[in-house]
Structure 1
Amino acid sequence: MPLSGVVEFVGRKKELQNLHQLLQDNKQVAIAAIAGMGGVGKTELALQYAKAHHETYKGGICWLLAKTEDVGIQVVQFARTQLDLNPPEDLTEDSNQKLLAQVQYCWRRWREGDVLLVLDDVSDYEQVKPYFQSLPSRFKVLMTTRQNLGRIAQLSLDVLQPEAALELLRSLLKETPERIGRELTVANQLCEWLGYLPLGVELVGRYLARKQDLSLAEMLRRLKNKRLDERSLSKSKSEADMTAQRGVLAAFELSWQELEDDDKQLGCLLSLFAAAPIPWKLVEQCLPEEDTEDLEEIRDDSLLNLHLLQRKGEGIYQLHPLLREFFQYKLTGLEQGEEFKRSVCRVMVAVAKDIPETPTLQQITDVTPAIPHLAEVAKNLIQYVSDDDLIWTFTSNARFYYGQGLYNQALPWYEQCLKVTKKRLGEKHPDVAQSLNNLAGLYESQGRYSQAEPLFIQALALYRKLLGEEHPSVAQSLNNLANLYNSQGRYSQAEPLFIQALELYRKLLGEEHPDVALSLNNLATLYRSQGRYSEAEPLYIQALALWRKLLGEEHPDVAASLNNLATLYNYQGKYSQAESLHIQALALRRNLLGEEHPDVALSLNNLACLYYSQGRYSQAESLFIQALALYHKLLGEEHPSVALSVNNLATLYNFQGRYSEAEPLHIQALALRRKLLGEEHPDVAVSLNNLAKLYYLQGRYTEAEPLYLQALEICEQRLGVNHPWTVKCRENLANLRDRLSSNPE
């Protein structure tokens, strides 16, 4: 039996127990196979098992190397040298059966007690099978192999758990333990990059032990740069005490040599996908000319059988990270390599185009397995994507995150999209305009209005120059800039743009189009913001009817339309109509978008506002608190929606006479709005008015008056003298002055 070269055996306690159980469970012959990819530690586990249970096998432990020499010859040699047995030469006249007869002679006369026979690295079980067919039941046979041996009891060995991999690395650096403590995060990243493969971790750990001045961060950088060519992954001559006889590349090469050409090609194709679970249907789409059953045969009989591929679930498969590196290494010399890259890009672009602008939760769930592979194309295969499809690989990733309200995760994709499209297509291209528009829209959703505006203006100018005045993209750009102005309270600038966009959409797309519905909805929202409720209502109703007709009842745009009309009804005092629509909108958003989405928070907030208007304060408070918590979680501390939510909760507390709770919230909302929206935004006026109202109710009239004055000035300038908010603010100031005149301080 060879000597183990492991410094410290970690992470395999459960596997050792399972292996012993497998070997003991069979009444006659127990043949257990430790299967797994190269480098996973099959031989080491067999060695550790033999060491741990040598007392169990009183008849001895016989270690056989399946690939080096005929197993029968090795058995006879072992019997002669270790057991003093001397099988006769004349047991049979058939020369072909002579060796088999000698082996059987040895089995019959073997030392008393249970016996463990270990066959290391079996590649062809049929060659060794004849020697074990008449084996007495006291013999236990343990094989290590890269293959699936069919009906034979099998212990499949996986990579180490992350904590065990880190412990293995720590054991190899025990003479300089401070290195792990100093770079713990990097140590974990190092193990992750190696895919927790024991051979990889051991080789790198031993290399680091020899290079005491080499930081773990630099080691990781070298691995990422040189990949499998990094010398730390090769077995050094100085590591003669290692159990493993090969480096990572050499270990994988043994499996490669057992593959047919078609097997190799499929492995190389799989390596182009991300280091993540791969939906098999994507692989089939990359090879449309190949027979589906033939591909399954290659997958199951070759790659899975040799443990070069893992099944992760129904229709889901994955390459180990280092095996993926290995197949990519081989891809460079493959004739079909370039064709495979274009094919993967073609398939992933098709997936990208199917992700809608406002995806539902179900659509998000359906596309989630493809997202890492879309990201892989955008990051590493973008040169194989055509100019016409270039933008899709980035926008689809952004839509995936944006659709969940994960704006910070969507942001780098839109930023990268703009950078790449400019570089490849030049500054003057419609896709550059679209990229500007998309990034600006994200900034607006984040409340970063000052950053959004110049991008929207650039996009509009570029569309007009490239496409002329009458084009749907120009209408879209007008609408988006108008939306921004509306969010900023710049209503007089927003209105003509909304009207232009609506007229253009109608002219180019006809009356029945989702973009026409959107334009009607947005113009109605502007009128609502201006207090022009009678003008807003018919537009909202038209938009809702159009969306229902074109998109069906269950669509995020229908939910938004229900919410907007309900909010208008609340402003108009039509509470029973508003409540029904708000409840519908909230239920629809929860169903379509999930519980954690900014639009769900908005619906909670708006329904709370309705309950507040109706005097249903306990119901309102619960919803306001839920909305605020959700906004905080999704959007962070500094966002206009967070300020709105804080303001609304403060207003409720104020009305309930809970002044000590209301005041800090009013102050917080005002400060946040000033910071995010500027001094002259209508929402700042609302916060000034509400804080003044709090002071008024507390009898703090001298503190309230300047706030009312500031609020009234902003409302008159930005909303006009007849806007409902302006009128309300004027009334509040008049009431205060009446109180001051009747109760002078």
Structure 2
Amino acid sequence: MQWADFLANEAATNSLSPEQTAAFVERLKTENSGKSEAKLASELNIGAAAFKKRMTEVYEKFAKSYPELANSENRGKLEKLRACLTAKYNGGQDAQPTIKEIHQNIPPAVPFEKFVGREVELKKLHQQLQTSRQVAIVAVAGMGGVGKTELASQYAKQHLQNYQGGVCWLSAQGIDVGIQILRFAELKFKLIAPDDWELADRQRYCWQNWQQGEVLLVFDDVTDYKKQVQPYLPPESPRFKVLLTTRLGFDRTLPQLPLGVLKPLAAMKLLKSLVDRERLKSDPWVAKKICKFLGYLPLALELVGRYLDTMPDLSLETLRKRLEKKRLEHEAIAKANPLMRYEYGVAEAFALSWEQLDENAQKMGCGLSLFALADIPLPVEAIEDDEQQEVWEKAIADLLELHLLQRQSKGIYKLHPLIRQFFQMKLDESSEADEVKTSFAAQAVRVAKRIPQKSNREEILNLTLYIPHLAELATDLFPYLSDEDLITPFTRLGWFYKGQGLYQQAEPWLQQCVELTKNRLGLEHPHIVTSLNNLAGLYKSTGHYRKAEPLYQQALELSKRLLGDEHPLVAASLHNLAGLYEYTGSYREAEPLYQQALELSKCLLGEEHPFVAVSLHNLAGLYEYTGSYREAEPL
């Protein structure tokens, strides 16, 4: 066994973390014996203080096996630890028995390979594998680029000592898995079954004569369990442990360890391990924005980190803007890095899963990309057509199985930011893109129309889930709104916030409504009247009467010019302007407008109409304020 492999084994035996292992191996390498801690820290791309802290933790863990380390100075601890390990490596009389070689074919590390933020998952994985009575099959599932293979590889390296019978790594996408097993047994254990035997018999011979001790079999990148795994499983025995990495989701009969994206702090840690720390310190908030934009996906983070390392003069802010503009097509994440283990760029990784979807699931993925990056309500049970409901259910199940969609709770789902970009890219490539976007806009408008001018608590709770998606429609998909429905999402978003007293959130939507309507429909359109009235109403509610008055006046003049003097919209405009004058104490200006609004509404709507009742009530209120009680009482 080589010294470096021996050190890795010792690290696993003493339960060192990945960070501690890196410092320990670097410090104990023969060629580094004369180097300072500062120099080694620099080579690991960490600070000297961090390196010293990790080595202190290493000494503490090894002190359990070598008590003499506990009472030594740091330099003395290093020399004593080196002496103890050297004696053990050489099989000296005072050392523990020499460790026998553990046969394995774990994929070798690649230059600057980083593994961070998975300590909890590693512990869970080990617990699941060790607690199973017979064959433990643990699916490390997750979408492309989430780090499934890296987690399995890191686990195998850290726990090598647990598997004295060897670690056999099998590529499900390589040559026949059965052949791979035979080659491993032949090369590592010299087990050669007769050539004239059937493959299954030769494989059975290998299992029966396999080296003693627990064995770990890793089936990497499984896409078809029945074909790639099931025929090659070892006999049921507690000593054989089986680990899968797969994009698929299995049912509960197969123990699983779902693997998600990194936590924000771990994502920053991964980026720091690849990019000069001072560079990130100068723009920490931009670095965090980049991590968030990438959805904390390990593959994307590593690609961007390595890209930045090759572009030392590129500012983080410039890269952030370019990523937001070009998205998955930017070279930083579009192409695989030849120095990395993973052979795909982000879009290529997602494409592998995309190709496994049928047409219905692909269409659903494209449709979901039009929603905002927020919880997506998909009330499938509301679909009346049973056949269509079943199509939706299967499409959702297929997306979930390949981890292209995340289930939050019953009927609520979510897309990863980069998968959403990938689906949008696929939609834009489709000949049906405009049709899909137009249909989405029409459906969203139907939801928007459910928002009343004043919402109660229950309505607010029920509608809140839809607000981000209506905002997405109003921001990016408004060109697909019909002229008739153009103002609906803007108006209803304004009402939603205004009704809760959230005036600052309401104002931009009502302002955009006016500008967009003018730009698209021209200055002479009834929608302009409605938009002006809504914005003026907001200013009136917030006490900005000077802003409200000219808008109400414009709305009144335009409604008369477009619709004539006798129209309900004219009556509403008269009523609104009168209400503003009443608020500001201009009672003489308010009275004739209220009277006109009342007479016009009676004429147009009849004596028995709610708007007539409102007009009567408001005119009476004006008389009450001015002390004209005789005029008020009959009204």
TM-score by length of 2: 0.79
Amino acid at match of 1:2: P
Gap change, CA 1:535 and 1:185, over 3 Å in 2 = farther
Q: Equivalent residues in 2 for 1:340-739 (5 A)?
A: 340-532=436-628
User: Which runs of 5 or more structure 1 residues have no equivalent in the other structure?
Assistant: 92-97, 540-745
Identity %: 52
Distance 2:381 2:310 in 1: 43
Equivalent pair of 1:172/1:202 in contact (CA under 8 Å): yes
Please point out which of 135, 144, 147 is paired with 2:248. Answer: 147
Instruction: Look up the SS of the partner of 1:258 in the other structure.
Output: coil
Gap change, CA 1:386 and 1:29, over 3 Å in 2 = same
Please point out which of 233, 256, 260 is paired with 1:158. Answer: 260
Gap change, CA 1:168 and 1:528, over 3 Å in 2 = farther
| Higher normalized helix content (fraction of residues) | 1
Tell me whether 1:269 sits opposite 2:269 in the alignment. Answer: no
Distance 2:501 2:155 in 1: 52
- Find the counterpart in structure 1 of residue 274 from structure 2: 172
- Find the counterpart in structure 1 of residue 291 from structure 2: 191
Distance 1:24 1:521 in 2: 77
For 1:592-630, what per-residue CA distance to the aligned partner results, in whole angstroms no more than 9, with x for missing partners?
xxxxxxxxxxxxxxxxxxxxxxxxxxxxxxxxxxxxxxx
CA deviation after TM superposition for structure 1 residue 538, in Å = 6.5
- Find the counterpart in structure 2 of residue 244 from structure 1: 342
Instruction: Look up the SS of the partner of 1:219 in the other structure.
Output: helix
Equivalent pair of 1:475/1:505 in contact (CA under 8 Å): yes
Distance 1:338 1:329 in 2: 13
Distance 1:17 1:519 in 2: 71
CA deviation after TM superposition for structure 1 residue 136, in Å = 2.6
Equivalent pair of 2:294/2:300 in contact (CA under 8 Å): yes
Greater relative contact order: 1 or 2 (C-alpha under 8 angstroms, separation 6 or more)?
2
Gap change, CA 1:10 and 1:454, over 3 Å in 2 = same
Tell me whether 1:88 sits opposite 2:197 in the alignment. Answer: no
CA deviation after TM superposition for structure 1 residue 137, in Å = 2.1
Distance 1:529 1:54 in 2: 87
Distance 2:114 2:168 in 1: 24
Tell me whether 1:233 sits opposite 2:333 in the alignment. Answer: yes
Distance 1:267 1:170 in 2: 33
Gap change, CA 1:514 and 1:201, over 3 Å in 2 = farther
Distance 1:214 1:110 in 2: 54
For 1:313-337, what per-residue CA distance to the aligned partner results, in whole angstroms no more than 9, with x for missing partners?
1111222111111111111232332
Amino acid at match of 2:231: P
- Find the counterpart in structure 1 of residue 115 from structure 2: 9
Gap change, CA 1:511 and 1:168, over 3 Å in 2 = farther
For 1:485-544, what per-residue CA distance to the aligned partner results, in whole angstroms no more than 9, with x for missing partners?
2222222212221222222223222344332343334334434443456765775xxxxx
Distance 2:195 2:164 in 1: 28
Tell me whether 1:295 sits opposite 2:392 in the alignment. Answer: yes
Equivalent pair of 1:42/1:157 in contact (CA under 8 Å): yes
For 1:637-685, what per-residue CA distance to the aligned partner results, in whole angstroms no more than 9, with x for missing partners?
xxxxxxxxxxxxxxxxxxxxxxxxxxxxxxxxxxxxxxxxxxxxxxxxx
Distance 2:497 2:530 in 1: 18
Instruction: Look up the SS of the partner of 1:153 in the other structure.
Output: coil
Distance 2:211 2:608 in 1: 90
Distance 1:224 1:366 in 2: 32
Amino acid at match of 1:273: F
Gap change, CA 1:342 and 1:496, over 3 Å in 2 = same
- Find the counterpart in structure 2 of residue 255 from structure 1: 353
Distance 1:289 1:423 in 2: 43
CA deviation after TM superposition for structure 1 residue 458, in Å = 0.5
- Find the counterpart in structure 2 of residue 616 from structure 1: none
Distance 2:500 2:193 in 1: 75
Equivalent pair of 2:207/2:234 in contact (CA under 8 Å): no
Equivalent pair of 2:380/2:411 in contact (CA under 8 Å): no
Equivalent pair of 1:274/1:372 in contact (CA under 8 Å): yes
Distance 1:493 1:402 in 2: 27
Equivalent pair of 1:7/1:171 in contact (CA under 8 Å): no
Equivalent pair of 1:194/1:322 in contact (CA under 8 Å): yes
Distance 2:439 2:597 in 1: 39
Equivalent pair of 1:4/1:47 in contact (CA under 8 Å): no
Distance 1:125 1:271 in 2: 30
Distance 2:270 2:490 in 1: 39
Distance 1:179 1:516 in 2: 68
Distance 2:449 2:166 in 1: 65
TM-score by length of 1: 0.68
CA deviation after TM superposition for structure 1 residue 435, in Å = 0.9
Amino acid at match of 2:511: E
Amino acid at match of 1:46: A
Tell me whether 1:32 sits opposite 2:131 in the alignment. Answer: no
Distance 1:353 1:283 in 2: 21
Gap change, CA 1:352 and 1:101, over 3 Å in 2 = same
Gap change, CA 1:519 and 1:15, over 3 Å in 2 = farther
Equivalent pair of 1:4/1:242 in contact (CA under 8 Å): no
Equivalent pair of 1:119/1:141 in contact (CA under 8 Å): yes
Equivalent pair of 2:533/2:552 in contact (CA under 8 Å): yes
Gap change, CA 1:534 and 1:100, over 3 Å in 2 = farther
Tell me whether 1:315 sits opposite 2:419 in the alignment. Answer: no
User: Which runs of 5 or more structure 2 residues have no equivalent in the other structure?
Assistant: 1-105
For 1:190-224, what per-residue CA distance to the aligned partner results, in whole angstroms no more than 9, with x for missing partners?
12211121111221122122212222221121111
Distance 1:126 1:380 in 2: 44
* More moved, 73-82 vs 272-281: 272-281
Give the count of matched residue pairs.
527
